[in-house]
Amino acid sequence: MSKDEQKRQSAETALRFVEDGMIVGVGTGSTVAYFIDGLARMRDRIKGTVSSSEQSTQRLRAHGIKVFDLNAVGSLQLYVDGADECDPNRCLIKGGGGALTREKIIAQVSHRFVCIIDAAKQVDVLGRFPLPIEVIPMARSSVARAIDALGGQPVWRDDVVTDNGNGILDVHGLRIADPVGLERALNQVPGIVTVGLFAQRPADIVIVDGLQRS
Ligand code: 5RP
Q: What is the DSSP letter of 213?
A: -
Do 190 and 206 fall within a single domain? no
Distance in Å, CA 43 to ligand 1 centroid: 23
| Atom 5 (ligand 1) nearest CA | 83
Please indicate, yes or no, whether residues 192 and 116 belong to a single structural domain of this protein: no
Confidence at 189, pLDDT banded by 50, 70, 90 = very high
CATH number, domain of 147, equals 3.30.70.260
CA 42/CA 36 separation, integer angstroms = 10
Same domain for 207 and 191: no
List the CATH number of the domain containing 109: 3.40.50.1360
Of 121, 118, 158, 143, the residue nearest 195 (C-alpha): 143
Distance from Cα 74 to the centre of ligand 1, integer Å:
24
Structure confidence by residue, pLDDT tens digits, 104-134 = 999 999 999 999 999 999 999 999 999 999 9
Does the Cβ of 27 fall within 6 Å of ligand 1? yes
Residues 137 and 43 in one domain: no
**pLDDT tens for each residue of 135-182:** 999 999 999 999 999 899 999 999 999 999 999 999 999 999 999 999
Residues 97 and 59 in one domain: yes
Range of the domain at 60: 3-123+201-212
Residue 214 has pLDDT above 80, yes or no: no
In terms of domains, do 68 and 163 share one? no
| Same domain for 28 and 79 | yes
Residues 40 and 119 in one domain: yes
Per-residue pLDDT at 97: 95
The count of domains in the chain is 2
pLDDT, tens digit (0-9, with 9 covering 90-100), for 22-81: 999 999 999 999 999 999 999 999 999 999 999 999 999 999 999 999 999 989 999 999
Pair 71, 177 in one domain: no
Same domain, 164 and 206: no
Question: Is 205 found in the same domain as 190?
Answer: no
Provide the 3-class DSSP secondary structure of residue 192. strand
Which positions are catalytic? 103
Overall size of the chain counted in residues: 214
Residues 145 and 162 in one domain: yes
CB burial string 25-45: b at 16+ within 10 A, e below: bbbbbebbbbbbebbeeeeee
pLDDT reported for residue 15: 98
Q: What's the 148 CA to ligand 1 centre distance in angstroms?
A: 25
For residues 116 and 103, the answer to whether their CB atoms sit within 8 Å is: no
Q: 3-class DSSP state for residue 34?
A: helix
What number of H helices and E strands is found in the chain? 6, 14
DSSP letter for each residue of 76-116: EEEEEE--SEE-TT--EE--TTS-HHHHHHHHHTEEEEEEE
Ligand 1 atom at shortest distance from the alpha carbon of 30: 11
